[in-house]
Amino acid sequence: MTTAQTILKKDFLAQIIKNEPELVSYLKEGDFVEAELLGRTPKGVYFNLGKFGTGVVYGSELSNAKEIIKNLAKGEKISAKINTLENDNGFIELSLADAHKQKGWQEIKNLMEKDEIISAKIIGANSGGLISEINGIKAFLPLSQLSSKNYPRLNVKSAEEGKNEIMGELKKLVGQELKIKIIDINPRTNKLIISEKASEVEDIKKLLENYKIGDIIDGIVSATTNFGVFVKFADNPLIEGFIHISELDYKIIDNPKDIAKIDEQIKVKILEIKDGSVNLSLKALKADPWEKIEDKIKAGEIIDGIIYKFNPFGALINFGNFQGMIHISEFGSAEEMKKQLPEMGKTHKFKIESINPEEKRIILKLAK
C-alpha cells in the first residue's frame, strides 16, 4: 500500500468515526465478531464481517485453526476474535482458534454454574491424578477427586513404592469415560479442575439422610490401605465409609490388615457424616481396656508379652488387651535391644514398671 493510499484510508476511517461512532466502538482488538466464510486460498481464509468489512485468517492463525476450518462450508458463520483492526492489505486479521477456545471456556463455565454431570474421557495420568479434555481444553482430575470406586487403595512399604503403584492404578483408567463435575476454572491460567467424586456426592448425600452419627451399622470391608480401612454399608453398598487407622483399635496398629480382612463382615459406629463422606469407628464398639485398669494389671507384675514392633525409641509389646513399651535406654542401643529381645511375633517376659492411665501409657522393663 502506497503512502497516498494509507492517507486516504485514514481519512476514510476518520470520516466513519465522525459520522457513525457507534460502528467503530465495536472495532477493538480482542473483541469477538460473527464471521461468514467467503472463500479460501492456499495462504488465507476470508470472512465477511458485515458492516465491519472483510476479515482474514492466515499465517500461524491459519495453522492453529486448521481443524476448525476443515469442515466449515461457504456461507457458514462462526465466532472470530479480532487480532489486528487493519493489516497492510486493508483486511481485519482474525483468530478462530482463540474464539473457539473462548467459546469452549464459556460453555465450561455454564456447565459448572449449572452443576451438571458430564462424561469425560481420560487421556492421560500422572502421579497427581488424571488428565482429560473438555471442549478442546485440558482438564485435570486430582487423585483426591476420584470416586471411592476408582481411588487407589494400596498397602505399600515406602513412598517411592506407593508412587509407582498409584501410577499403575491410574493408568488403568486411561481410555475410560468417567462421570464428572467441573469444580474450578480459570481461563487466564488455563486451569480446569474436574471431579469424579463430586458427581456422586448428591446421590450419596440423599442415601445418608437415612443414617445419623452414633448409628451402629453392618459393613463389609471393601479395601485396606496403610492408613485405614474402607467399609461398604451392607444394607446400602453405594455408601462406603472409612475407618482411620487410629479408630481400628486401642492399640497402636502398624498394618490395618492385622485387624480387618477384605470381604470380612464387621459392625462399625458412625462417627461423622460430612459432604457425602462417612467416618467410621471399629474401636468405639470395643471395650476400653483403660477403664478401671487398676483392677486388671498392676505395676511390678510380670507378664508374657509379644514383640509387636521395634522403633527408634524402643519396642512395642502386646499383652492381653494392652500394649506397653520398653524404652531403648534399657539396652543402650538399637543393636543391643534386638540382640536381647526375640524377633517380632515372639513371646518374652517383662515387668510392668509403671502405668499412666491419663496418657494411656505402660512402661515395661525386662523381667529378671
The answer to whether 3-101 and 210-285 have equal CATH topology is yes
Q: Which CATH superfamily is domain 3-101 in?
A: Nucleic acid-binding proteins (2.40.50.140)
Dist. CA 357–CA 291, nearest whole Å: 9
Q: Which CATH superfamily is domain 210-285 in?
A: Nucleic acid-binding proteins (2.40.50.140)
Could you please state the CATH topology (level 3) that the domain comprising 115-199 is classified under.
OB fold (Dihydrolipoamide Acetyltransferase, E2P) (2.40.50)
Domain ranges of the chain: 3-101, 115-199, 210-285, 293-366
* Residue 162 scores a pLDDT above 80: no
Dist. CA 320–CA 296, nearest whole Å: 10
Q: Which CATH superfamily is domain 293-366 in?
A: Nucleic acid-binding proteins (2.40.50.140)
Write down the residue that cell numbers 466464510 correspond to: 37
The residues that bridge with 194 in the sheet, in sequence order, are 182
Per-residue pLDDT tens over the stretch 109-121 = 999 999 888 999 9
Confidence bin at 25 (pLDDT 50/70/90): very low
**Burial 271-301, CB ≥16 within 10 A → b, else e:** bebeebbbbbbbbeeeeebeeebeeebeeee
SS3 (DSSP) at 112: helix
Per-residue pLDDT tens over the stretch 4-21 = 555 555 555 555 555 655
Confidence bin at 63 (pLDDT 50/70/90): confident
Main-chain phi, psi angles of 167, to 5 degrees = -60, -40
Per-residue pLDDT tens over the stretch 218-244 = 999 988 888 899 999 999 888 999 999
* Residue 184 scores a pLDDT above 70: yes
Write down the residue that cell numbers 526375640 correspond to: 342
